[in-house]
Structure 1
Amino acid sequence: MKPGVYSEVGRLRTVIVHRPDMALRRLTPSNHDEYLFDELLWVDRGIEEHDAFTKILEENGVEVLRLDRLLEETLRSGDAREYILGGVFPGDAPGVSIAGRLKDALMEEEPEILAGYLTGGLAVDEMEIPGMSGIKSRSLVAAAAGPDSYILPPLPNTLFSRDPSSWIFGGVTINPMYWHVRRREALNVSAIYRYHPEFSKSSFECWHPKGDLAGVPPPGYGRNTLEGGDIMPLKKGCVLAGISERTGSGMIENLASTLFAGDEAERIVACDIGRDRSHMHLDTVFTMINEDTATAYPGVLEKSRTWSLFPGDVEGTFRIREEAGLVPAIEDALGIDALNIIPTGGDRYEAEREQWDDGNNVLAVRPGVVVAYRRNARTNKSMEKEGIDVIEIEGCELSRGRGGTHCMTCPVTRDGI
C-alpha cells in the first residue's frame, strides 16, 4: 500500500474504520455528556449497522482496515508498547505507588487484551492484571477512586476514525484534538502509523508533528487544535479546511506553512463555520459528492466567512484573500464554472432535522457515488434527482453518536480528480 489522499471524491481505495466496541458500552445516562455523546447507543444493533456499512465499502472495491486489528497487530512490537504506554502514562502517572508496576503489567498483556484496554478503557475495579492484585491497599489513587473511575478511560469517539489523523496528499497529520477525552485517539493512530508493518514499510511524510511520527501532541494546546472532520483535500495542491469548534485558525496556518514549504499545496481555502455542537466540524454541513457537486446545509454556510491562503514572499508567511463565500472559492480553486449545491432536507424543519442526523455527512466511494444514512430521506432523494447514486445504510443507532459515513472513515488511499 502506498498511502496518499488526493481528493474528496476520487476512487476510494483504502480506509480505516473502528467497529463499535466496549467503549460504547461504558456510556451511561450519567457520563455520556462527558464523553461528547448526546444519546446512548444500542451497541449490538450499532455493530450490525457498522458491519453492513463496511460490507458495502468492500463490495465497492474499498480495502477496509479495522483499527482494533491494526492496533492489536501493532502491539506485537515491544517498541510499540513502550511508545504507546509511555504516552498513556507519562512520568509518574497515575501515581508513584503503581505507575511502574502498572506499566510493567500492561507490557506483559496479550496484544488483543491491551488493544482492548487502549480503546475500551480499564476501570480501577477491573484491575485483575497479574501483579496488580490488592491495588487498593497500596495506592491512594485506587483506594480513593469511585466505582466508575478509570485507570484508562474509554475512547468511545474512536468510532469516528476521521478525526485523530488526516491523510493529505502524500503525508499525514497526527491531530492535536480539542477535547481531552479524545486526545489518546491520536496516540493510538500514531503508534499504528509508526510501527505497524503496513505503514512502517511505506514511504510518506508527516505534516504534523512536522517530520516526526514519534511526536505526541502534549495536553493543553488551547486553540491550536485540529481534527480530521475539518480537513478536505479538494485536488492536488489545494486543501479545504474548516475553522470550527474543534479546529483553530492557528493550526490551519501551521498546516499551510508545512504544505507550502514542501511544495505540496499552493492554496488553502479556510471556512469559518462558527462554534456549535450541532456542526462541530465542516463535514457536518458540507461534503463533496462529485467533481462539481456538494451537499451542504445552507443555514450555516450562508453565515460563514471564507479566506484563501497562498504562500507569501518569505517562507512561513502568507497572502490572505477574503472570498465572497465558500462556494465561489471552491469554484475558483477547482477551475469550474459552477459548483452544484444540493441542500439538506426539504423545508427548514426537515433541513434542520436531517443536518442533525448527518444528512450532509456522506462518503463518496467514487465520483457521484455516495454512502448515506437511509433516515435522511429528503436529502438522499435530492441527491438522486441530481444524478448522484446514493447507497443507503441503516443508521438508527450509529447516528445517535452524531457522525455519518464521512466521520466514520479515515481515507488512507484515494485517487485524485
Structure 2
Amino acid sequence: MATPINVYSEIGTLKTVMLKRPGRELENLTPEYLERLLFDDIPFLPAVQKEHDEFAKALENEGIEVLYLEQLTTEALHDASIREQFINELLSESKADLNGAYQRLKDYLLSFDTESMVDRVMSGIRKNELEQGPRSHLHELMEDHYPFYLDPMPNLYFTRDPAAAIGHGLSINKMKEPARRRESLFMQYIIKHHPRFKGHDIPVWLDRDFRFNIEGGDELVLSRDTIAIGVSERTSAQAIERLARNLFKRQDQIKRVLAVEIPKSRAFMHLDTVFTMVDHDQFTIHPAIQGPDGDMRIFVLERGKTDDDIQITEENNLPAVLKKTLGLSDVNLILCGGGDEIASAREQWNDGSNTLAIAPGVVVTYDRNYISNECLRKQGIKVIEIPSGELSRGRGGPRCMSMPIYREDLR
C-alpha cells in the first residue's frame, strides 16, 4: 500500500474504516454524571453492542475492511517504553495527580497486559478498584463521593470526531469538551507507532496541541480540492483558519475550505448532523440551518498570492457555493424528514441527516428515520438501514460512528 490513508471525497467507494465497539465504558454511566460525560441517556450495553455489530457487518457485507480503535491502540502500544509513555501522558491529561493517585494508577495500569490496560483506560477506573493507600493530604482525608479516579470515555464509539482523514493526512483534534479531549491521544499513538501507519510519514495538518477546538464531525471532504468545515458548537473559526493555512502550505490538492456557520446548539452539534453528501450532486440537509430565504453564512478560504496569504470571501447561498466550487450544473438538497416541521426536527434529533456514504449514491442510515430514508430512496439513493434503538441514545449516527481511512478516488 503506497499510503494507508486516502480520503479525497465524502462518497468515494469506502475501502477501510475505523470503528470502536461500545464497551464497559457505557456501564460506568450513571444519571448523576450524564451531563459531565455528554450523554442524555444510558444505553443497554448488550443491545447497543448487538446493534453496533450489525453496523460493522453491514459494512463488511459491502466489502469494507473494518478496523477497531481498541485493537489498533493495543497493537500500537507493543513496546513497554511506548506503553509507559502513553500512560504517563494519559494520566497527566486526566489530572490524576490532583487526587493523589498518579503513581498508584500508573502501577495499576502497568500490571495488566496491553489489551486489558487499554480496556481499563477506555472504560474508566473506579476508586474501589484500587486498594486505598495511605492518606497524607487534606483532600484525601476529606470525604469525596466522586466514584472515578479516571473518567470513562463513553463517546469513543463516535470515532469520527477525535481525528479526521483529509487527503493522505489527518487532523488530530483538540476537542472542545474536557470529557472527550483524551480521545485524540489514541490516534496520535496509532499513526506514530502502529506497524500499519508508522513508516509512512503521515502528515498531521493540525495537531491536538493547538489551543482552539475542532472536531471531525464538522469536517467534510467534498472533493479533491474542496473541503467544508462547520463553524459550530464544537469547532472554532480559529481552528478552521489554521487548518486551512496548514493545508495550503503543505500540499497542492486542496485549494479551498468552506467554513459553514451553523446554529451553536447541542441539537446541531456538528455540520454532519445537519448536512451530508450522498452522491456527486446530492446532499441531505436539515432545513432549520437555513434562513427564511435559504440564506446562510459561508466563508470561502482560498490560498493567496504567497504562502502566508489567504483570501476569504463571504457567501450566503449554499446551493450556489456548492455548484461553483464543485463544478456542478445543479445540486439537489434532500430535506431531513421531508421538510415537515415536526418530522424533520424529530428525525434530525435521531441523526436523520447523519448518513455515511460508502459509495456514490449508497448510504448507511438508522432505520428509525423512515421518512428521511424514503426521501433518499425517491431520489435514487440506495439506503442500507441499521438498527438504532440503543445506538441513537448517544446522539450520533452512522457517520459519527465511523472514521474512513481509505476511499477510492472518484473518476
TM-score, scaled relative to structure 1: 0.92
- Could you list the per-position Cα deviations for residues 155-197 of structure 1 after superposition, in whole angstroms to 9, with x for gaps in the alignment? 1110100000011001011100000000000112211221111
- Could you list the per-position Cα deviations for residues 203-242 of structure 1 after superposition, in whole angstroms to 9, with x for gaps in the alignment? 4211122xxxxxx527xx3xx1100000011111211111
Question: Which one of 392, 395, 404 corresponds to residue 399 of structure 1?
Answer: 392
1:332 matched residue in structure 2: 324
Residue 144 of structure 1: how far off its partner (Å): 4.3
The whole-number CA distance in structure 2 between the counterparts of 1:393 and 1:30 is 30
Which segments of structure 1 move beyond 6 Å, counting only runs of 4 or more?
none
2:115 matched residue in structure 1: 112
Question: Which one of 280, 288, 301 corresponds to residue 299 of structure 1?
Answer: 288
Instruction: Give the secondary-structure state (helix, strand or coil) at the position aligned to 2:308.
Output: coil
Instruction: Give the secondary-structure state (helix, strand or coil) at the position aligned to 2:78.
Output: coil
Which stretch shifts more, 323-332 or 180-189? 323-332
TM-score, scaled relative to structure 2: 0.93
Instruction: Give the secondary-structure state (helix, strand or coil) at the position aligned to 1:35.
Output: coil
2:79 matched residue in structure 1: 77
Residue 145 of structure 1: how far off its partner (Å): 6.1
1:370 matched residue in structure 2: 363
Instruction: Give the secondary-structure state (helix, strand or coil) at the position aligned to 1:306.
Output: strand
Preserved CA contact (<8 Å) 2:284 2:353: yes
Which stretch shifts more, 264-273 or 71-80? 71-80
- Could you list the per-position Cα deviations for residues 247-277 of structure 1 after superposition, in whole angstroms to 9, with x for gaps in the alignment? 0010000000010001242111110002011
The whole-number CA distance in structure 2 between the counterparts of 1:286 and 1:59 is 26
1:204 matched residue in structure 2: 202
Aligned-residue RMSD, C-alpha: 1.9
CA separation of 1:180 and 1:369: change in aligned 2, threshold 3 A: same
The whole-number CA distance in structure 2 between the counterparts of 1:145 and 1:404 is 40
Residue 124 of structure 1: how far off its partner (Å): 1.3
CA separation of 1:138 and 1:115: change in aligned 2, threshold 3 A: farther
Preserved CA contact (<8 Å) 1:95 1:141: no
Preserved CA contact (<8 Å) 2:273 2:348: yes
Residue 84 of structure 1: how far off its partner (Å): 1.7
How many residue pairs were aligned?
402
The whole-number CA distance in structure 2 between the counterparts of 1:89 and 1:323 is 45
Question: Which one of 182, 185, 192 corresponds to residue 184 of structure 1?
Answer: 182
The whole-number CA distance in structure 2 between the counterparts of 1:326 and 1:77 is 49
Opposite residue 402 of structure 1, the aligned amino acid is R
1:31 matched residue in structure 2: 33
Instruction: Give the secondary-structure state (helix, strand or coil) at the position aligned to 2:196.
Output: helix
1:163 matched residue in structure 2: 161
Opposite residue 20 of structure 1, the aligned amino acid is P
Preserved CA contact (<8 Å) 1:124 1:145: no
Matched, 1:320 2:312: yes
2:342 matched residue in structure 1: 349
Which stretch shifts more, 7-16 or 20-29? 20-29
Residue 142 of structure 1: how far off its partner (Å): 5.2
The whole-number CA distance in structure 2 between the counterparts of 1:107 and 1:45 is 32
1:121 matched residue in structure 2: 124
Which stretch shifts more, 241-250 or 82-91? 82-91
Residue 393 of structure 1: how far off its partner (Å): 0.7
The correspondence of residues 93-108 of structure 1 with structure 2, limited to 5 A, is: 93-95=96-98, 98-108=101-111
CA separation of 1:160 and 1:73: change in aligned 2, threshold 3 A: same
Preserved CA contact (<8 Å) 1:123 1:148: no
2:246 matched residue in structure 1: 258
Preserved CA contact (<8 Å) 2:173 2:213: yes
Opposite residue 414 of structure 1, the aligned amino acid is R
Opposite residue 116 of structure 1, the aligned amino acid is D
The whole-number CA distance in structure 2 between the counterparts of 1:123 and 1:83 is 22
Instruction: Give the secondary-structure state (helix, strand or coil) at the position aligned to 1:6.
Output: coil
Residue 399 of structure 1: how far off its partner (Å): 0.6
Opposite residue 238 of structure 1, the aligned amino acid is T
